[in-house]
Amino acid sequence: MMKPDIERLYRQMARMRFFEEAQADLWDRGLIPGEMHLGIGEEAVVAGVLDHLEEGDALALDHRSTPPLVARGVDLASMLLEVMGEEEGLCRGMGGHMHLFSREHLAGSSGIVGSSAPLGAGFALAAQCLSPGAVAFSFFGDGAANQGLVLESLNLASAWKLPQVFVCKDNRWAITTRTRSVTGGCLARRAASFGMPAYRVDGTQVEKVWVAAGKAVRRARAGRGPSFILASCPRMEGHFLGDPLLRVYREPLKQTVEIGPPLARAMLSKPLAALIQRCGYLGNIGRTIATLGGERYLLAIDPLRRGAKLLSEEARARIESEAKSEVAEAVSRAMERRGRND
């Protein structure tokens, strides 16, 4: 059995992480408008799956699309210009970070929750008819798994034996809703009920993701149909940059001053008959904040840190230095081109 090339996988993970951090810095500086959804914490999932990608394969992505596009080889400066709304960007500044497309790389993303599943089915059907041996990859979060269009896509892909790999990035949250509170049964068993292999894997361990993805891709290329990968992974910046639930931990005093008085007024507003019920709601908010903070700051599970342990210190330092230099050069190019347009 083949073994993964850990250095190559870690290089992709490092490139993704440093690119996401560069975007976060630009957002903090006010150069990227609107909300910003990053894929920090998903690097091992993306790297482990897309290490099996070949030319002619297609990517159907969700609104955290920059890590897969980095791995796919899309120009980094072009993506940075796009998320800053510049006409020289990947989609001429009209897509932003949630709607990135590259015809050249057969890759497209959408902010519509769950849409990557039917988009991937379309890519897979085209591959089946026009390019046998090519595979379509669909990435989405566990919060999308209950969408009807995802279930319909699982059914159709299995019925038609489409060469599609469904990748569910499971961080156990749908924004601020605990996924298990709105999901019946196990997502992997649900996918298996459609007649396809379903793999549950620790999405912070890139080598384990690589093994599961290899089985799924080989099955798809052989014309035997789709597979489903349920990969658990953290979302280290919350649902979006500046997530208010994580700000409570990062700026406890400031957030107490900001949110304390409104919560107190809501609790004590008349009529007081619903006070017990309001206390219950406040308790739910507190438990959500405590759980999110515990996962982010106490457990502190970082796929990049786990991947680094598989390498020598010398190899890790060299790879990270190269990745940082590549991203820094892309930021420099993007800012230079942006400056020329001002």
Tokens representing residue 77 in the block: 């400066």
Selected residue with higher pLDDT from 293 and 182: 182
pLDDT value of residue 210: 98
Cα gap 139→61, rounded to integer Å: 5
Cα gap 251→272, rounded to integer Å: 31
Cα gap 78→103, rounded to integer Å: 14
Per the prediction, the chain carries an average pLDDT of 91
Q: In the predicted model, is pLDDT for residue 298 greater than 60?
A: no
Cα gap 316→6, rounded to integer Å: 10
Segments of 209-272 assigned E as strands: 227-232
The DSSP letter of residue 267 is H
Contact by Cβ (8 Å): 145, 198 = no
Span 171-218, pLDDT tens digits = 988 888 889 889 999 999 999 999 999 999 999 999 999 999 999 999
Minimum mean pLDDT range among 105-119, 155-169, 286-300, 309-323? 286-300
Selected residue with higher pLDDT from 47 and 297: 47
Burial class (CB in 10 A: 0-12, 13-18, 19+), 151: middle
pLDDT value of residue 292: 67
Span 227-265, pLDDT tens digits = 999 999 988 888 888 777 777 767 777 777 787 788 778
Contact by Cβ (8 Å): 199, 212 = yes
Tokens representing residue 191 in the block: 């996918």
Q: In the predicted model, is pLDDT for residue 299 greater than 60?
A: no
Q: Which of 174, 208, 258, 241 is nearest to 49 (CA)?
A: 208
Span 117-141, pLDDT tens digits = 999 999 999 999 999 999 999 999 9
Sorting pLDDT into bands at 50, 70 and 90, what band is 311?
A: very high
Q: Which of 21, 225, 250, 8 is nearest to 125 (CA)?
A: 225
Distances (CA, A) of 97 to 81, 92, 336: 10, 12, 20
Q: What percent of the chain has pLDDT over 70?
A: 94
Contact by Cβ (8 Å): 64, 238 = no
Q: In the predicted model, is pLDDT for residue 83 greater than 70?
A: yes
pLDDT value of residue 341: 67
Q: In the predicted model, is pLDDT for residue 294 greater than 80?
A: no
Selected residue with higher pLDDT from 279 and 321: 321
Segment 45-59 shows an average pLDDT of: 98
pLDDT value of residue 260: 76
Segments of the chain assigned E as strands: 58-61, 101-102, 107-109, 136-141, 164-170, 173-174, 177-178, 198-202, 227-232
Contact by Cβ (8 Å): 67, 57 = no
The set of residues, in sequence order, having a beta carbon less than 8 Å from that of 148 and lying 6+ positions away, is: none
Q: In the predicted model, is pLDDT for residue 162 greater than 90?
A: yes
